[in-house]
Amino acid sequence: MSISESDVRHVASLSRVGLDSARLPLVVAELNGILGHMDALQRVDVSSNANEDATRPMMLADDVVGAVQLMRSREDMAPAMRDGFFVVPRLATHAAPEGNPAARAVDAEAP
Amino acid sequence: MSDEHVRTPADRLLDRGVAAIVEGVASGACSALAMVECTLNRMVSRDVGRDGLNAVLYVDQEGAHTEASLFDARDAARADAPLAGVPILVKDNIATHRLATSCGSRILEGYVSPYEATAVGLLRAAGAIVVGKTNMDEFAMGSSTENSAYGPTKHPLDRTRVPGGSSGGSAAAVAAGVTPVALGSETGGSVRQPAAFCGVVGIKPTYGRVSRFGLVAYASSLDHIGVFGARVDDAARVLAVIGQADAHDATSVHFPPVDDARAGQEEPHPRGTQPLKGIVIGRPEEYFPASLDPRIRALCDASLERLREQGAEIRTVRMPNTESAIPVYYIIAPAEASSNLARYDGVRFGQRRPGAGVQGMYEATRAAGFGPEVTRRILLGTYVLSAGYYDAYYRRAQAVRRLIARDFTDVFASGVHALFTPTTPTTAFRLGAVSDPYEMYLSDIFTVTANLAGVPAMSQPIGRIEGLPVGGQLIASHGDEATMLRIARALEFSLGVEAHR
């Protein structure tokens, strides 16, 4: 099996990594070099574990949700705060309400 | 070294290791503050900073001073803190408060975690003082520390060579004598391989023994926090402190104790006694291929002979699926990484770069933030998980991974207590010498198997070739660090200075 330029472009888009078209041939060659070694796995006889579950159960503790002690306050992590809320930029799809001075004030504070 | 003319009591304790420091600080002979001062001085005199070996990225001078002073003021705490006054360095992918956690990556430059890793919290509670963060391959992807966005770390014995990786900064700092211990992390050998290259001890515990809460995820089914030590006892004492089940990490479970740290305080075994009587050590043929450097083979066999002299039975064993380990690892690890690293998108985490629309912003952020190896593994991982290739690559790799794990189960069920192998196929190579990605992957050929199976493993110095250290690897069964460390202590004692000659 080998990977083509269009495969790499598709995979880069799926993984949201911008890839310079100048670098593309090199990346394709490197990935094919690596995948060539992976083909050895096709020759391994795995029939002896056909009866086992797909994933061998891993020892796991109960997943208990607990509070994590923060070393910094919430306020410290927020770009801006107002009345105990995070102030964030308005989404492009949400127009600012006309003639609402409070909304304009929040917009002005947003980072 | 240049600082040797002003040897303070703290200097002497630092050279003698964790047990001596704890005894000195607990008895009041030396303060934790003096230990911290001594460590900070050595960071300068041994040139481990950004413009020297580039092993240490961030130093918490003020925080270390404050913590050491507070510790010194608490008389009650001093007497029974298992790591009283021990200075320690932490790899840059383990969350610490105050200091940045940047994973050797541009994308997390300046990021300070709002919480601290469980392992680091346990260290502080035991009296250890975190003095800084160490350089690493970006997101722990690499075997030489050349993939760090902050420049490569250099080998302390030869600056034209690599210290190994990905925890190369921690290994180099311990080898340079700055701290007796450091935390690292392992996904495929990132503690043991640099430990071997730098001539220090590196332990990868059983999967699940040390909580990964606060360890930045790379490949979650393979990631471990590991420990470096100047000697076996140093690393064992730190592992005993951090090896505790933690409610914040569901993969962290209870295991039998690591090792009674007191073992190190016992009188050394007199020559001629057989401390390893009843222990069976396997020598897996597949880890000694015909292509192995004959000098590495000879050093390993000399170590096995030492173990035999101490009463251990040496048995040749077979691990038939070993040769599949690298292909399996480089399918599973990138697959998991492609998912774990999705969070660095400029919104949830990461330095944002502008781009056309949301997808454009993501792509620009990730293109600017990730180096070539991380990009390569994300692409590879996304590819092996994509429709049409999942069965051929990912599912297949999982099936072969089970065969590799079964090799270990079978050999330990046959009465073998531990395996002894070389840690790496070569000694430290030159900076820039390995440019082919797959050739670099092969430096982990003897170490990835233990990550795939989850069993504990460690590397310790067993000699040198042309002045460069060689590591010998011990691998034990799940949860049996105690036997592994017992053998390691006996070998270390038996080799003595030979291990470093």
Cβ of A70 within 8 Å of Cβ of B115? The answer is yes
Joined together, the tokens standing for residue B56 give 């240490």
Lowest mean pLDDT among A47-56, B104-113, B419-428: A47-56
Write out pLDDT tens, residues B111-144. 999 999 999 999 999 999 999 999 999 999 999 9
DSSP helix/strand/coil, B471: strand
| Cβ contact B391:B163 at 8 Å | no
User: What is the rounded CA–CA span in Å between residue B418 and residue B414?
Assistant: 11
CA distance B149 to chain A (A): 17
Percent of chain B with pLDDT over 90: 89
Cβ of A60 within 8 Å of Cβ of B253? The answer is yes
Across the beta sheet with B181-186, the strand order is B56-59, B129-134, B87-91, B181-186, B224-229, B201-204, B457-465, B468-476, B418-422, B280-284, B313-317
User: What is the rounded CA–CA span in Å between residue B46 and residue B400?
Assistant: 45
Percent of chain B with pLDDT over 70: 96
pLDDT the model gives residue A1:
67
- Taking 50 as the threshold, does the pLDDT of residue B27 lie above it? yes
Cβ of B392 within 8 Å of Cβ of A15? The answer is no
ipTM of the complex: 0.88
- Taking 50 as the threshold, does the pLDDT of residue A77 lie above it? yes
Q: Choose among B291, B283, B319: nearest CA to B426.
A: B291
pLDDT the model gives residue A94:
74
- Taking 70 as the threshold, does the pLDDT of residue B217 lie above it? yes
Average pLDDT over residues B298-322: 97
**ω into residue B27 within 30 of 0, thus cis?**
no
CB neighbourhood size of B77 (10 A): 16
User: What is the rounded CA–CA span in Å between residue B169 and residue B166?
Assistant: 8
pLDDT band at A54 (very low <50, low <70, confident <90, very high): very low
- Taking 50 as the threshold, does the pLDDT of residue B264 lie above it? no
3-state secondary structure B174-236: HHCCCCCEEEEEECCCCCHHHHHHHCCEEEECCCCCCCCCCECCCCCCCCEEEEEECCHHHHH
Query: Residues of A with CB below 8 A from B453's CB?
Result: none
pLDDT the model gives residue A57:
54
pLDDT the model gives residue B137:
98
Catalytically active residues of B are: 91, 166, 190
| Stretch 1-40 of chain A: residues touching chain B, C-beta under 8 Å | 1, 3, 7-8, 11-20, 27, 30-31, 33-35, 37-38, 40
- Taking 80 as the threshold, does the pLDDT of residue A49 lie above it? no
- Taking 50 as the threshold, does the pLDDT of residue A55 lie above it? no
Size of interface A-B (CB pairs under 8 A): 143
DSSP helix/strand/coil, B389: coil
DSSP string, B411-436: HHHTT--EEEEES-SSSPPBTT---S
- Taking 90 as the threshold, does the pLDDT of residue B273 lie above it? no
User: What is the rounded CA–CA span in Å between residue B371 and residue B102?
Assistant: 13
pLDDT the model gives residue B1:
47
Nearest CA in chain A to B356: A18
Lowest mean pLDDT among A92-101, B435-444, B466-475: A92-101
Burial letters A25-46, b for 16+ CB under 10 A, else e: eebbebbeebbeebeebeebeb
Query: Residues of B with CB below 8 A from A37's CB?
Result: 326-327, 330, 438
Burial letters B436-457, b for 16+ CB under 10 A, else e: ebbebbbbbbbbbbbbbbbbbb
Query: Residues of B with CB below 8 A from A22's CB?
Result: none
User: What is the rounded CA–CA span in Å between residue B114 and residue B444?
Assistant: 33
pLDDT the model gives residue B268:
55
Average pLDDT over residues B466-488: 97
Q: Choose among B17, B389, B398: nearest CA to B180.
A: B17
User: What is the rounded CA–CA span in Å between residue A49 and residue A12?
Assistant: 34
Tell me the range of B41-50, B262-271, B382-391 where mean pLDDT is highest: B41-50
Q: Which residues pair with A85 in a beta bridge?
A: A82
Query: Residues of B with CB below 8 A from A1's CB?
Result: 389, 392
